[in-house]
Amino acid sequence: MSFFRRSVLSGCLSVVFLSSTAHAGDLMNWGKKIAEEGNGSPGSIACMECHRLNGGGMPSIGSPRIAGQTAFYIEHEILGVQKGTRYAPVMAGVVYNLSKNDIRAVALYYASVRTPKLPDVSPPDPALVALGKHIAQKGLWKKNVPACVLCHGPNGRGIPPHFPYIEGQNKGYLLRQLISFAFLKRKDDPQGLMRGIARHLTQRERKAVAEYFASLNPPATAGRGK
């Protein structure tokens, strides 16, 4: 290949790369705008009303921490709320008017941000933390409950892109999701796995799992898998 052709091809590739990078940057800026102000549609609510601009969530109301979750996971969950496969009645009223481009933008933005863990609503209960740690790391095989870390990774730090980190998530959110899987209408888990697990746990065991993961610090490397 001649020097001229190599130069032209190199230049074309550079243009494509820069164009792609610029597009991702524009999307992320739009995602931050939606997080701060909504998308401009009537009734649109800013994501930061519940998740904060830096994605730390609001433990006082059980609003989840989403900073550094993978963009794939955030996008998948918002689409699930729109379709009704993820039970989230409050979120359903917030995301119904987001376009696919809006959702992608928000997902990219929150995947990119990092923030320290916020104080939870109460200190960890040592007895519940101990029980939750046992369930998380070893499971309850007599009840057909596998260890949580088999899917969510060591200490619940996540296995991108499909399995979110739950390490350092607030206890109110974690408990609500276990209850939603067990008794309500959340049905976005592959092959009904989480529904089966949540139904086999007692309420104390659900609280223990939530308490354990909430007692940990969020993973510093969250979100590297997009």
Quick check: 217 pLDDT over 70?
A: yes
Amino acid residing at 52: R
Residue 10 has a pLDDT of 52
**CB-based contact 218:155 (threshold 8 Å):** no
**CB-based contact 112:125 (threshold 8 Å):** no
* Residue 224 lies inside a defined structural domain of this protein: no
Please tell me the least confidently modeled range out of 2-6, 130-134, 217-221. 2-6
The answer to whether the peptide bond before residue 119 is cis (omega within 30 degrees of 0) is: no
H-assigned helices in 38-115 = 48-51, 71-83, 89-95, 100-112
Residues 61 and 94 in one domain: yes
The angle, 0 to 180 degrees and rounded to 10, between the axes of the packed helices 100-112 and 3-37 is: 90
Residues 8 and 73 in one domain: yes
Phi/psi at 45 (5° precision): -115, 140
- Higher pLDDT pick, 80 / 184: 80
Mean pLDDT for the stretch of residues 140-161: 96
Quick check: 160 pLDDT over 50?
A: yes
Quick check: 145 pLDDT over 90?
A: yes
- Higher pLDDT pick, 57 / 185: 57
Phi/psi at 58 (5° precision): -135, 95
* Residue 139 lies inside a defined structural domain of this protein: yes
Quick check: 150 pLDDT over 50?
A: yes
Question: Which pair of tokens denotes residue 152?
Answer: 């969510």
The rounded Cα 137 to chain-centroid distance in angstroms is 21
Q: Whole domain around residue 85: which residue ranges?
A: 3-112
Calculate the average pLDDT of the chain. Answer: 90
pTM: 0.87
Residue where a domain terminates, one of 55, 85, 112: 112
Residues contacting residue 101 through CB under 8 Å, at least 6 positions apart: 27, 30
Total domains present in the chain: 2
**CB-based contact 94:39 (threshold 8 Å):** no
How many other CB atoms are found less than 10 A from the CB of residue 221?
12
Residues 130 and 106 in one domain: no
* Residue 225 lies inside a defined structural domain of this protein: no
Confidence of residue 20 (pLDDT cuts 50, 70, 90): low
Q: What is the CATH number of the domain that holds 178?
A: 1.10.760.10
Residues 89 and 132 in one domain: no
Taking the C-alpha atoms of residue 62 and residue 210, their distance in angstroms, rounded to an integer, is: 12
Taking the C-alpha atoms of residue 93 and residue 81, their distance in angstroms, rounded to an integer, is: 9
Nearest to 205 by CA among 120, 121, 130: 130
Nearest to 166 by CA among 179, 176, 177, 152: 152
Residues 102 and 198 in one domain: no
Residues 76 and 41 in one domain: yes
Q: What is the DSSP letter of 218?
A: P
Residues 178 and 97 in one domain: no
Residues 58 and 90 in one domain: yes
Residue 18 has a pLDDT of 41
